[in-house]
Amino acid sequence: MKKVRKVVIPVAGLGTRFLPATKAQPKEMLPLVDKPIIQYIVEEAVASGIDEVIFVTSSTKRAIEDHFDRNFELEYRLRQKGKREQLSEIYTISDMAKFIYTRQKTPKGLGHAIWTAKELIGDEPFAVMLGDDVIDSKTPALKQLIKVFDKYQDIVVGVTKVAKKDTGKYGIIDPVPIDENTVEIKRFIEKPSPAKAPSNLAVTGRYVLTSEIFDYLGKQKKGAGGEIQLTDAIAKYIKKRAGYACIYKGDYYDCGNKLEYVKAIVNYTLKRKDFRAPLKKYLKNL
């Protein structure tokens, strides 16, 4: 049985929905309380058993590389000031996993970003996590997907239930139920209107793929928005082989969207013991 050890995290997108904040900094580095979004994602990967993190970056995303590297000067100054807690916190970030970086020279779409990691993946199964999608859950969402992969040894996408009126914002699957948390995917439909949507199960930022997906991504066919889309490649793959969806238990936030990001901040701040009571009081009085 092949184990999932590697994750590809594409972070080379332009982040146009979050301008002007993303003019000079990556959206993936925006904080939720005091940790950047991307750190939550890497922590979820590590807690799911991943030991190699492959970032697909671009020239404007250097801050992400620096965040997961050592910062000797800062470490020295914290040591001098006796700030042991902060020192150990920043020190452990670079030790979480093995980090590898590859560049996507032009943002030709998510499918193309994953294609750039082909040589680094080889013939292993691998996970994909979108760099701006956080999922708050007891059991890490990716771990839930990997459990399904271990059983079926074929593609698994993470899905969550969305309001029927919102199906037009997502990739929606046509499901064949297997059990409470797993369905087989009959087909994908990109952003269907509520009337045309076969379900309300939306694809949301987590995937486990087999290396055969590169045969489909390699065709480099442009899809929606003139971009090379991952969902197009998965849709073709599923026609030849099987594909599954894991209805993970957890709350999904698309932090590339301004309002969803604000909701994520409120959620993650309320989860913090030190901020919960004062924030609740503040919100109540607003």
Q: Which residues bind ligand UTP (CB under 6 A)?
A: 10-18, 56, 104, 107-110, 112-113, 130-132, 256
- Minimum distance between the CB of residue 108 and ligand UTP, rounded to whole angstroms? 5
> Would you call 214 exposed, middle or buried from its count of C-beta atoms within 10 A (0-12, 13-18, 19+)?
middle
- Minimum distance between the CB of residue 10 and ligand UTP, rounded to whole angstroms? 3
Which is nearer to ligand UTP, 107 or 198 (by Cβ)? 107
Which is nearer to ligand UTP, 175 or 256 (by Cβ)? 256
- SS3 per-residue string spanning 147-171: HHHHHHCCCEEEEEECCHHHHHHCE
- DSSP letter for 28, please: G
- DSSP letter for 132, please: T
- Give me the residue whose beta carbon is nearest to ligand UTP: 13
**Four-point Cα dihedral 105, 110, 112, 116, nearest 10:** 70
Which is nearer to ligand UTP, 154 or 254 (by Cβ)? 254
Q: Which residues of 253-268 are buried (b: 16+ CB within 10 A; e: fewer)?
A: bbbbeeebbeebbeeb
- Minimum distance between the CB of residue 257 and ligand UTP, rounded to whole angstroms? 8
- Minimum distance between the CB of residue 149 and ligand UTP, rounded to whole angstroms? 21
- Minimum distance between the CB of residue 13 and ligand UTP, rounded to whole angstroms? 2
Query: By three-state DSSP, how is residue 24 classified?
Result: coil
User: Beta 244-247 vs 201-209: how paired, if at all?
Assistant: unpaired
- Minimum distance between the CB of residue 240 and ligand UTP, rounded to whole angstroms? 25
Tokens of 87: 């020192």
- Minimum distance between the CB of residue 38 and ligand UTP, rounded to whole angstroms? 9
Which is nearer to ligand UTP, 13 or 175 (by Cβ)? 13
Which is nearer to ligand UTP, 108 or 249 (by Cβ)? 108
Which is nearer to ligand UTP, 177 or 225 (by Cβ)? 225
Which is nearer to ligand UTP, 130 or 264 (by Cβ)? 130
Angle, helix 273-285 to helix 258-270, in steps of 10 degrees: 120
Tokens of 190: 């990109």
Amino acid of residue 212 = E
Which is nearer to ligand UTP, 9 or 197 (by Cβ)? 9
CB atoms within 10 A of CB 71: 15
Give every CB contact of residue 143 below 8 A, 6+ residues apart in sequence: 47, 48, 49
- Minimum distance between the CB of residue 161 and ligand UTP, rounded to whole angstroms? 21
